[in-house]
Amino acid sequence: MDDRELRIRETLRGDMPAFARTCLKIRAKDGAIIPLELNATQRKIHGELEAQRERTGRVRALILKARQPGCSTYVEARFFHATTHRRGLRAFILTHEDKATDNLFEMVDRYYQHTPMLVRPHLGASNAKELIFDLLDSGYQVATARTKGTGRSSTIQLFHGSEVAFWANSETHVSGALQAVAGAEGTEVVLESTANGKAGLFYRYCMAAMRGQGEFILIFIPWFEAEDYASDPPTDWKAPRAWREYQGLHALTDAQLYWSYTKNVSLATAISGDPDAGPCWKFRQEYPATAAEAFQVGSDTPFIPMAHVEAARKALVPGVGPLILGVDPARGGGDRTAIIDRRGRALGTVVYDVLDWPDTMRVAAHVAELIRKHQPDAVNIDVTGVGAGVYDRLVEYGFERVARAVTFGGGADDPERYMNKRAEMWDRLREWLSVPDRLTVSIPDEDALDADLTAAVWKSPDVLSGCTFQNERLRLEAKDSIIKRLGFSPDLGDAAALTFAFPSSHVLPERGPRVRVVSEFDPLQ
């Protein structure tokens, strides 16, 4: 091997996209065998994984995606590059069904067969699902997530779980794989899938990653980032109003809009929906625009409509009016303290804190510092449980003028309409997000907040403890029910609802409200 060849090998060793473009071949949709030039989605994933590897020395990632954006193609190429350039690496790929297993192994075998001899490793063994590069002591194996013990006895450095949300025995497979993958530097675990409802291991992992819990990062791939999802509309086609609004929310091109409209027609028809009314739940599940809507299922009717939350995420509205903080205290250990502000029609522009602290006195000290720094007009604190201690300490600090105790289970201001204070606050939040077309409100463009705001759902045969009316009074779905159903507590949603605990006219007069005072609740204040 001459100096030029050595330089080529060294360059390709350190540049996976160049290796893919130069050495790997894929089968295009028209059947042609072409070089693997990373598309926009694959470049995004590569950048996220490389950034995590630089930060932590290893990769732990979840990829939540629409259908067929090329995620598996990228991960197989990434692992093929690693196992053919480094010694002692074993890659293990686990799929949800035999057909997928066959397809992925065929893809890897094609990579190998078309790799130039200059960089192709010696193949010591090969069978229907395994390649062993004997001189490197590395290998590549693909299997189906059927038998509970699959992969458990192996020593793995690189693990790819494909369509994890559709695995049988996902708990056993993932726990076994994570035990098999050493925690050493250079190891990688990538779990990718389309969504399959608000349940299961993949859903819980994604929700935890949204909240910054655990070691996994979440990479979300909205459908409109896929280059193939576009088709030119007929010259005489005019998009229905709901679709024009959808286009504006996500800055879609006309070709992307027409593609999504035509794809939605077949999905909406199949579930007896109106194609002109905007994306149906089935389209949003299979081709999500946000991570939160990916997990929507047909039986779920969120108490706060997802479309209203989505619109508020994209809006930019200046905060005008009294500054109100909502504080939902907790004792840590996964049960988080959430703090968020609202000023008129803008939520979360000043404070957006999620704290996993076990010491409630530390929480109280933090809230006190926020009061000193931002001078809020009111700080509404849930005093149910541990929150009482936080409120008492703030009063002890001398903040009794702005600190206001709120009991979620206490009486509502309008007891004829609401079962308790929590239902009233959440309904005020819902009204605020459901403003008329001529007005807008804004919230942080955060998936975790989105998931919390849409966590409570109306009661249905599948949701036995959802929101409902009793004697014409609204009863919100219990927090324990949400935790049991979804695996997380909507802490940020509760904090946002707390900013609506009292009408604007209840702001203490010595500070003076900065907007018109109303005698009844005004959802825009």
Cβ neighbors of 321 (< 8 A, separation 6 or more) are 343, 344, 504, 513, 514, 515, 525
Phi-psi region of 149 (alpha: psi -120 to 50; beta: other; left: phi over 0): alpha
Kindly report the CATH number that applies to the domain delimited by 38-221. 3.40.50.300
Separation between Cα atoms, residue 65 and residue 256, nearest integer Å? 17
Q: What is the mean pLDDT of residues 506-512?
A: 44
Q: What is the dihedral of CA 145, 149, 154, 157, to 10 degrees?
A: 50
Res 157: pLDDT: 92
| Percent of the chain topping pLDDT 90 | 54
pLDDT for 117-165, tens place per residue?
Answer: 888 889 987 777 889 998 999 999 998 887 655 555 468 899 999 999 9
- Residues linked to residue 133 through DSSP beta bridges, in sequence order: 138
* Neighbouring C-beta atoms of residue 49, cutoff 10 Å: 22
What tens digit of pLDDT does each residue of 425-434 get? 999 999 999 8
Q: Which two tokens stand for residue 405?
A: 């105790």
What would the pLDDT profile of 2-61 be if each residue is shown by its tens digit? 677 778 788 888 899 999 999 999 988 888 999 999 999 999 999 999 999 999 999 999
Q: Please state the length of the chain.
A: 525
Inform me whether the pLDDT recorded for 191 exceeds 70: yes
Structure confidence by residue, pLDDT tens digits, 301-329:
899 988 899 889 988 898 899 999 999 99
Average pLDDT over all residues of the chain: 87
Whether domain 323-506 has CATH 1.20.272.10: the reply is: no
**Residue 154, pLDDT score:** 65
Where in the chain are all domains bearing CATH 3.40.50.300?
38-221
Q: How confident is the model at residue 199 (pLDDT cuts 50, 70, 90)?
A: confident
What is residue 153's predicted lDDT score, i.e. its pLDDT? Answer: 47
pLDDT greater than 60 at residue 470: yes
Summarize pLDDT for 328-339 with one digit per residue, the tens.
999 877 778 999
Confidence of residue 476 (pLDDT cuts 50, 70, 90): very high
Compute the distance between CA of residue 61 and CA of residue 215 in angstroms, rounded to an integer. 8
- What does DSSP say about strands 90-95 and 138-144: parallel, antiparallel, or unpaired? parallel
Average pLDDT over residues 231-246: 93
**DSSP H or E segment with residue 158:** strand 158-162
* Phi, psi values for residue 512, rounded to 5°: 80, 120
- As annotated, the residues of the chain forming the CATH 3.30.420.240 domain(s) are 323-506
160 - beta bridge partners?
Answer: 93, 190
- Residue in 180, 179, 209 with CA at minimum distance from that of residue 192: 209
Q: What sections of 375-405 are H helices per DSSP?
A: 387-396
Percent of the chain beyond pLDDT 70? 92
- The sign one gets for the Cα dihedral 278, 279, 282, 283 is positive
Which of the residue ranges 67-71, 74-78, 248-252 would you say has the lowest mean pLDDT? 67-71
> pTM score, two decimals?
0.81
